[in-house]
Chain A
């Protein structure tokens, strides 16, 4: 049984990491996938992973007008929308000389940039797809929060704050849609350190965790997760198997949540 047979799914941040894995897994389970990203990806490679009818669109998730265009195109071409995965995100640590985020020195620019993409992009995504999902009669949204939403991470305060916002927003979207009687569920996953370019930038230093150290010492099972290990829980949450699950935040973190009080 293909677990997403007949579903149409938009996945943002689909060019790499968790988004890329999610798009290919959803396609393997029968979904019609539309991936978006600010980065480009080779068409042949994309369709090899996600199927010949899979679309890929350039998309800055902070761009309201672009959100409207993308969703409109998807509904027009595929006749509806069932699933949105808000995967696009940044931690502000990229580039040659990333600005600091420690509380005594953080600047408003990096704060706004990270929160705009992670929290603002998620807000715009939910807002834009809800009318399309109402039209469709059903829908499931999966947002990417983070273990960083639940614990202190002095070096990435903008990131942690934005991911806490995503978790809060997920709960409000879930409650709103359910109370309105719309058949739209909204849940979040909270990944720990996943082996993606965000954690291990090509040629760069591995990102340090909340204790200021790089590596997996702080992970109870002592390894990074793979992108596919986050994609699979999202497959569950996006599918009809999670029909009574809404407003949930699911940690996918190798046990870190069990040592973090929240």
Chain B
């Protein structure tokens, strides 16, 4: 008797065929790479961001372009709008990737974000996007996933959710909260027997616009990452690949888990 189930054999070209996915923070970085990979794997994608999303991101999959929705994740009203659009376009929801996040309001160098200098306004602004945005996404997505027979939520936390981040206390606190929300959502869904999994991904230093001030210009020659065991920063596509794993059926017994994608940073 063969142990290989039919779906495990053969071509794995369209690992998300038939699935509908919402990806927030889709204009750049990890979100944009996730949209591109999901499209290539056959998903239909709602791509959201407060910023405009470039056509080459929306068309990265070749055949069907992603649907772009302008979206402030800190607004529950705008989340409802995203759900309405998802229903209108595809009438189902299988996957949510909560990728939208900021490290400093307005972006840029994280200066004055240590505990002695951080302002309450900055702290709250970071929590609003990273924490409230993730919470609202899970809350709004679950009912439509239940209607669709189940689903998978992937929240983008960070290695900074585990380790102390003296230069960015707001960011570290927000990513720890994302991790914690993930576990509570996973257990809630398990208890509800609604066939929804929820996991978190914990990138280390990745070459994205958010981390350009920290990781350099993205040449990835390794000289700029001496504290990373792999001696290089990661690429958005490398995080997207891990998100694809958690979002897909390969992770069918994985829920409430956290996966580091950090070149070994968190084991140092």
Contact = CB atoms under 8 A, between A and B. Distances in A.
B218 to A, nearest CB: 14
Given A181-B231, A252-B257, A241 B239 contact: no
A253 interface: yes
Nearest to A23: B3
Contact of B4 (A25, A221, A241): A25
B229 A179 contact: yes
Nearest to B240: A241
Q: Which of A3, A175, A242, A246 has the most CB of B within 10 A?
A: A246
A171 interface: yes
A174 B267 contact: yes
Given A220-B187, A258-B186, A250 B254 contact: yes
A149 interface: no
B12 A253 contact: no
A28 interface: yes
Contacts of A3: 12
Contacts of B105: none
B256 A258 contact: yes
A246 B239 CA distance: 13
Interface of B: 2-5, 8-13, 182-184, 186-187, 190-191, 193, 204, 228-231, 234-235, 238-239, 241-242, 244-245, 249-264, 266-268
Q: Which 6 A-B pairs have the closest CB atoms?
A: A258-B256, A178-B229, A220-B190, A247-B267, A229-B253, A225-B253
Interface of A: 1-3, 20-21, 24-25, 28-29, 48-49, 171, 174-175, 178-179, 181, 192, 220-222, 225-230, 232-233, 235-236, 241-248, 250-259
Given A178-B230, A248-B262, A252-B257, 13 more contacts: A2-B12, A49-B3, A171-B267, A174-B267, A178-B228, A222-B190, A228-B3, A232-B8, A244-B263, A245-B238, A250-B257, A255-B187, A257-B257
